[in-house]
Amino acid sequence: MTDPIRLGIAGLGTVGAGVVKIVQRQADLLAARCGRPIKVTAVSARSRDKDRGVSLNPYAWEDDPVALARRADVDVFIELMGGSDGPAKAATEAALAAGKHVVTANKAMLAHHGQALALAAEEAGLALRYEAAVAGGIPVIKALHEGLAGNAITRVMGVMNGTCNYILTRMELAGLSYDEAFAEADGLGYLEADPELDVGGIDAGHKLSILASIAFGTQVAFDDMTLEGIGRISIDDIRQAGDLGYKIKLLGVAQMTGRGLEQRMTPCLVPASSPLGQLQGGTNMVVIEGDAVEQIVLRGPGAGEGPTASAVMGDVCDIARGIILPVFGQPASSLKHAPAAMAEAPESYYLRMELLDKPGALAKVATVLGDSGISIDRMRQYDHSGENAPVLIVTHKTTRGDLDAALSALPGTGVMVGDPVALRIVDL
């Protein structure tokens, strides 16, 4: 174990450059901790000449990441290109086929092809690691996969898209509209090239699907996830939720119930005083609940050069130390295909809607809810200055099925203006 372990890095954006910096800066520390030196031998990226704040002269250059993945002088292929398919997938497959361990930060690739890649890695006796793919610098994969291995996990929750949390925080603290906060985040470069990946909950959903696989011993099932973005949240929702003692977060929840595997990434109300409620800006948080450990909360930076490179290097160090584990917590061949839950566990809901300002409107809405079996905890009409009457309703616990029935019946009342906003209330 005293030979150096040799890295080939494909993708030299923020994270790739961060990894190179750590390898250069912490050579002695890494060698002491891993029992062998860690060195970069070759790199690959779209542009060779870009200034990345770090010298790449010592390393061989490959234009083609697949060629990089196959180099004889590479032991660990580090995939930091992104994208669920294309070069990232091709190079990862090439690396595994060539007997290289793989470390990746690519949540999209794992969400869509995790099972096949895990089978390939495990068959070849190779490590496929991805701490950086979920919640940035927080070592949550390790906590769930290893530290909490003695637990039957009951629920995993997380705020795992810093951009969405930034937008929601700015709406709350600066009183911005969704469009204003979105524009601000865009100006700061926080948004993916396709913003829907962020604000539509897709990126965070990818991450949750990976956590769910480890937690419940099931194959990654991103396609079964309920996804809802933050685009319909208004400043009004944030204020009303605040009055009720809640914050609105894009919250992922995965739990195994008698009805199957429930996975959803949706805007929710969480108690303002809870750790999730107190989370601001780009910070991520993951909550893991297990039958023995009760509840663990992990909090840290969800993105950025240093934190994400830290996660990549944690994986590299494990590989250098000779640790090769099943990719998703147990052998991929033993992972069950979990049926998606046909019905979600009952929750309380926050409903906000605008009604025509005419006598009996509120009664009509209440009747529809009652007919759908939904019991009302609180209901109030507020801020009656405009043309319409905004109404806020908090329900008692109800099934999503009953709620959806009510939501489809509401337009029939003839008093609705636009569609209601319906958000789950998650008590922690």
The reply to whether 154 sits near a copy of itself by the rule CB under 8 A is no
Assess contact for 50 and 11: CB atoms under 8 A. Answer: no
Expressed in angstroms, the distance from the first to the final Cα of the chain is 46
Of 244, 272, 296, 417, which one interacts with a copy of itself (CB under 8 A)?
A: 296
Of 36, 239, 299, 397, which one interacts with a copy of itself (CB under 8 A)?
A: 299
Specify the stretch interacting with a copy of itself by CB under 8 A; choose among 17-25, 45-53, 353-361, 419-427: 17-25
Assess contact for 355 and 388: CB atoms under 8 A. Answer: yes
Residues in the chain, total: 428
Closest approach, Cβ 188 to a copy of itself, in A, equals 18
Q: How far is it, in rounded angstroms, from Cα 312 to Cα 221?
A: 24
Q: From residue 380, how far is each of 82, 357, 424 by CA, in Å?
A: 47, 14, 18
100 is in an annotated binding site: no
Q: Is 324 exposed, middle or buried (0-12, 13-18, 19+ CB in 10 A)?
A: middle
DSSP state of 144: I
Of 1, 72, 193, 292, which one interacts with a copy of itself (CB under 8 A)?
A: 292
Catalytic residue among 89, 100, 207, 247: 207
In the bound state with a copy of itself, the residue whose beta carbon lies nearer, of 195 and 314, is 314
The reply to whether 123 sits near a copy of itself by the rule CB under 8 A is no
The reply to whether 271 sits near a copy of itself by the rule CB under 8 A is no
Of 54, 98, 119, 297, which one interacts with a copy of itself (CB under 8 A)?
A: 297
Is residue 21 classed as helix, strand or coil in its secondary structure?
helix
Closest approach, Cβ 345 to a copy of itself, in A, equals 22
**Backbone dihedral region of 174: left (phi > 0), alpha (psi from -120 to 50 degrees) or beta?**
alpha
Of 330, 381, 388, 399, which one interacts with a copy of itself (CB under 8 A)?
A: 330
14 is in an annotated binding site: yes
Of 278, 381, 388, 413, which one interacts with a copy of itself (CB under 8 A)?
A: 278
10 is in an annotated binding site: yes
φ and ψ at residue 144, rounded to 5 degrees: -75, -45
15 is in an annotated binding site: yes
User: Among this protein's residues, is 207 annotated catalytic?
Assistant: yes
The reply to whether 121 sits near a copy of itself by the rule CB under 8 A is no
The reply to whether 306 sits near a copy of itself by the rule CB under 8 A is yes
The reply to whether 334 sits near a copy of itself by the rule CB under 8 A is yes
Assess contact for 58 and 90: CB atoms under 8 A. Answer: no
Q: How far is it, in rounded angstroms, from Cα 394 to Cα 158?
A: 23
What sign for the dihedral angle of Cα 278, 274, 204, 269?
negative
DSSP 92-153: HHHHHHTT-EEEE--HHHHHHHHHHHHHHHHHTT--EE-GGGSSTTS-HHHIIIIITTTS-E
The reply to whether 162 sits near a copy of itself by the rule CB under 8 A is no
Is residue 7 classed as helix, strand or coil in its secondary structure?
strand
Contacts with a copy of itself by CB under 8 A lie at 18, 22, 25-26, 29-30, 32-35, 131, 137-139, 142-143, 146-152, 217, 275, 278, 290-301, 304, 306-307, 309-314, 316-318, 321, 323, 325-326, 329-331, 334
User: Catalytic residue positions?
Assistant: 207
Q: Which residues are annotated as a binding site?
A: 10-17, 107, 192
